[in-house]
Each structure stands twice: as C-alpha cells, then as structure tokens.
Copies of this chain bind each other. A is one copy, B any other.
Amino acid sequence: MLTDIEIAQQTKLIPIDQLAHEYGLSDDQFIPYGRDKAKVALDTSNAKGKLILVTATSGMPAGSGKTTTSIAVAQAFKKLGEKACLALREPSLGPSFGMKGGAAGGGYSQVVPMESINLHFTGDFHAITAANNLLAALIDNARHQGQVDLKEITWRRVLDVNDRMLRNIVTGLGGSANGIPTETGFDITAASELMAIVCLAAGEEDLRVRLDRLVVGLKRDGSAYTCKELGATGALMALLKDAMLPNLVQSIEGVPAFVHGGPFANIAHGCNSVAATRAAMTIADWAITEAGFGSDLGAEKFYDIKCRMNNLQPAATILVTSLRALKWHGGVPLPEIGKENMDALINGLPNLKAHIVSLKRFGQQVVVSLNHFANDNEEEIDVVRKECLAAGVRFAISDGFAKGGEGALDVAREVMVAVKEGSKPLNYAYSLDESIEEKIQDVNTKVYGGQDVSYSSAALKDLAKIKALNMGFEKLPICIAKTPFSMSHDPDLKGAPHGFTLPVQRVILNAGAGFLVVTTGAIMRMPGLPKKPAAYTIDVVDGKITGLS
C-alpha cells in the first residue's frame, strides 16, 4: 500500500495557472508561487456558492478524517458534474514534526503538493510569526527606552514549533543593556491572536482596524495599551500583506482548494480564513469547508464567530464519524477501536446523537458521513445508519481515503438533497448582547451538555479587568478553549456527558481578533514533542521529501 506522500507525489498536477484560468481567474487575479501554488487577489463581493461545513463527532487521538472527507466530497461533486471548491486550513509546522503528522488529507483525498503545504507553503505562518514577534520586540523596546510604563504585558511571542521549554520563560536577563527581566512565554503560532486576525479580517482596511485595536498591555492606570498607541500597525500591515491573500492549490483529482489560515480549534477558533471561504464561494457553486475537531469546538465557533462576523449562512453541515471514533467514546481503549464490538458502538452512539442535536439546534441540515475502514462490519454500520435516520438526519458512507471522490458520491448526493430541503438561518448559541458569563453558560448548556459554569479566581479577575476597561469588550463573541476528546472540558468524560460544571480558568481579551478566549481545564497554548517525534522519520531522498504523513 502506498503512503500518503507517495500517492501525493505520483499525482500529475494541473499547472496552477491553467487551473486558475479554468475557474475564471485572470492573470492579474493570482500570483504563482512555484508551478503548483498561487496567491489569489479576488473581488469576493459576489460570493454566491453554497457553503457546506464539514465537522465531526468528538475527537480521538487517531484523528477523525474530517479533512479527508472534505476533499473526498469536493471530488465527488466534481465527478457529479458540479463546480466545487475547497476552503481548508493550512497545516502548522509544529505538529508535522511532533505527534500528529501533516494535515492535508489522506490516501486518495489529499490536497497537493502535500509536502509544500505541510512545510513552509507560501510562508503565511512565518509572516504571522514575524509580525507577532516584531510587535513583542517593539513593546519591550518602548519599555526599555522609557517610552511607556506598563503594569502588565499581555502580548506573548510565538513560534511554529512544538517546544514545551518555551511555555514559561524569563527574558531580559544579563543586565540593563539587555532589557528588563520579564516573565513571559511563547505560544504556537496557530494559537496566536494574529492568526485569528488574518483569518477573520474582511480585507486590508479591516486588518488595519483590527491591528489598531490590539490590546498588548495595561498601563499603570489600568487603561489599555494598544498597537495603535505604540505605532506598530503599519509595520505589521507590511509584514502581513501577502499572508492575507488566500492560497490556491488543488486536490489529487484536480478540484481547486483555497488552503489558508490555520488556527487550532481547541485553543483558537479553528477555521480557515474568511478570504479563502469567500474565494471558494466566488469561483465555484459549492464551497466545502472544514472546522477543527468536534462540532462542539470548530462548528460552534464557525457559526457563532466566523459566520456571524461575516454574515455567512452555511447551506448544510456534514458530520464526520466512524465506527472507531464511536467505539472509543463507547469506552474501548485506542488499540482496540478497529475490532468488532457492538456493545462499545452502542455505548458510543450518544456522542453522535449529541452532536446531531447540537447541529440541528443551530438550524442546519445535517448529513452524517461515516468514514469507512476496510474491515468495518456491516451490521455495525447499519446501527449507525438507523440512529441517524431516527435522529432525522441523512446518512452516507465515505470511502474517500481509499477511493477518492468516487468513494464519496453518496455523501455528495445526500448533501445536495439536504441543501434542497434547506437549512434555517443560523440560530446562534448566544446573542452578542448577553453578558460574558451568560454567553459561556449558553454554550455550555446548548452545545456541550453541561449544567453550571465555575470561575477560577484568575478568571474572575480577568472578567473584572475586561469590564473595567469600559471599551465594550463584553459585547464580543467568546472563543472557548477546551479538550477535543470530550463534549465537556474533561477528556475522560466520553460519550455525551451531562450535568457537569464547566471550570473557566482564564478569560483572555483578543480585541483585534474580536473575541474573548475562555480557557477551561488544563489547556496548553504551546504543545510539546512526544517520545518519538515524527521529525525522526522525515528526510530528503533523491531530492524528494519522505516520511511526512
């Protein structure tokens, strides 16, 4: 059997200018990066394609196959004679060398050139890293030069690497010529506010507005110290200029794909850029997009943050699940999820059901797509199918990994019917006018299945500070950071937990992104490397990259 990277490297790619032309882009609307990638600068004011969100049941350490399904479904649309385009997140370098491997789909449903997409790609993450760290240096330089006196610095540095040693550091050591000793740390780039800003900004002027209002610290009187007051907005604009343009690549079967922006979904808002989504909706009739981890994380934020900010109305939502994921939520340990086990499957069904109920509450037409594995048992599949029909949603099997678009024709057909039946306008989980606490309570009860919310003393202080700023930040949407392995905050609560109390640890203002990050449980914004990092298997052989998966 071929590995992902071998399949990807065998693909004969359509030259990117030819693909761009095929989808109606003129030469002045795209800039080639290599012969297989392009940045696209497009007027998207007439974005009319139907938007299909791909989400999943609760995560498991082995991954759910969401990106693979997204690509398979887009390829299936193409096979059905429809004009489809993908909008996906860019993979982060850090996890590519750590536990997770790459994130460009798998098998015969991948976006290519996968090595490039998984590594530096067109440099967007690097640009965000550079802008983030220039801002950090400018803040500290202003302090060092005695130009500002801050009570608190909220801006942290970032790197696109899994490096636990950088979580908590002290900078500015070695005497006063080398700055002011300061407790701080690095987050991974995918978790940064600038990443969220690049993803959510509607265009260049909106980018400027968002950068201007970035709160990077608190002055002695407790008031906000902003990027605008520091004077750093222009430099950041220059560094982020190209990173704002969505990247056009293609799937193995030649479907265009905008791969742009890569916030994680557990610790950030988890969807690709608005620019990419709107570009896909502009050049095609079907725009297939994806939001990270389970629907409690990515989909909730997709609806409540991204769609609300940009007035997007998804036409339908595909909910990816698998016998393996459901068995894992039915209590089977990871090494055994591939074995037949009807009891475990039935134990795991409440997780599927909970996600369906939540998505329907948002007003979406839902199609459950079962990510098929070679040894899946037919009776077990039937149980899932019946559960879906009973819950009033459609069901189809996707075999996109093994068969590409051909394997997802049924899913595509069900989506087309679902769209015809029509989703309702989005019924958000909360209103922006509610208090911060009410918003958290609403997501907890309506989406997670919890009952109460508790606040750490740090979170209570955070809330008090945000209110004391008196700048209207209570009206922002919330972006909850929590584990992907449970609908609750507790990775050990599998299935469809109920009645739990959501413990809020911190409430972090992201004034530029335009949301409040609410952390729950023990959430890390900088991952570490495992005992055997994927880095040790990656190499270059005869001029080709090997070992990426």
Contact = CB atoms under 8 A, between A and B. Distances in A.
A535 B120 contact: no
A164 B138 contact: no
A105 to B, nearest CB: 19
Given A93-B130, A535-B232, A535-B235, A241 B161 contact: no
B31 A138 contact: no
Summarize A's interface: helix, strand, loop or mixed.
mixed
A387 interface: no
A164 B177 contact: yes
A131 to B, nearest CB: 10
Contacts of A529: 137-138, 141
B159 A166 contact: no
Interface stretch (A193-201, A252-260, A329-337, A538-546): A538-546
Contacts of A97: 134, 235
Given A120-B242, A166-B171, 7 more contacts: A93-B134, A159-B159, A167-B173, A168-B173, A169-B171, A232-B535, A232-B536
A170 B169 contact: yes
Interface string A182-202: 110000000000000000000
Contact of A32 (B32, B130, B528): B32
B179 A171 contact: no
Interface in A391-422: none
A13 interface: no
A137 B163 contact: yes
Nearest to A239: B119
Interface in A113-129: 115, 119-120, 123, 126-127, 129
Given A126-B130, A138-B529, A238 B538 contact: yes
A472 interface: no
Contacts of A31: 34-35
B173 A170 contact: yes
Tallying the copies of this chain within the complex gives 2
Contacts of A173: 167-170, 183
A275 B112 CA distance: 28
Nearest to A32: B32
Contacts of A231: 535-536
A536 B234 contact: yes
Contact of A160 (B130, B147, B172): B130
A14 interface: no
A161 B141 CA distance: 12
B141 A539 contact: no
B182 A138 contact: no
A344 interface: no
Looking at A123, A133, A204, A235, which has the most chain B CB atoms within 10 Å of its CB? Answer: A235
Contacts of A147: 531
Contacts of A126: 120, 123, 126, 129-130
